[in-house]
Amino acid sequence: MTSLAAAVTHDAHGQTLGPHDHVVCPIDDLEFRPYYTDGACPICGWRPDEAVGRPWWLDADPVLVAFVVAAVVAALMVVIVIAAYRS
């Protein structure tokens, strides 16, 4: 809980580059958003000094995501079967 609050505060102070932050590469003058390029310039690979945020789904555990999807589908099947049985 403490680490989550610290991460949000860190983000709110603008020290982490988010999805809307643009950076200009000093080598090839390309303006890009490092949030979507894994933190590196897509042409030369230069990285800004600031920390770059990552979309949450890149850090999500795929097994956990698959389990949640399977659980939701199973619950949906239960609802469908109960509705079909009652009608």
- Member of 6, 44, 68, 78 binding Zn ion (CB under 5 A): 44
Residue 24, both tokens: 């200009």
Site for Zn ion in 1-30 (CB under 5 A): 25, 27-28
Nearer to Zn ion, 46 or 50 (CB): 46
Told to check if 46 binds Zn ion by CB under 5 A, we report yes
CB neighbours of residue 25 within 10 Å: 19
CA-closest candidate to residue 34, choices 10, 25, 6: 25
Positions that interact with Zn ion (CB under 5 A): 25, 27-28, 41, 43-44, 46
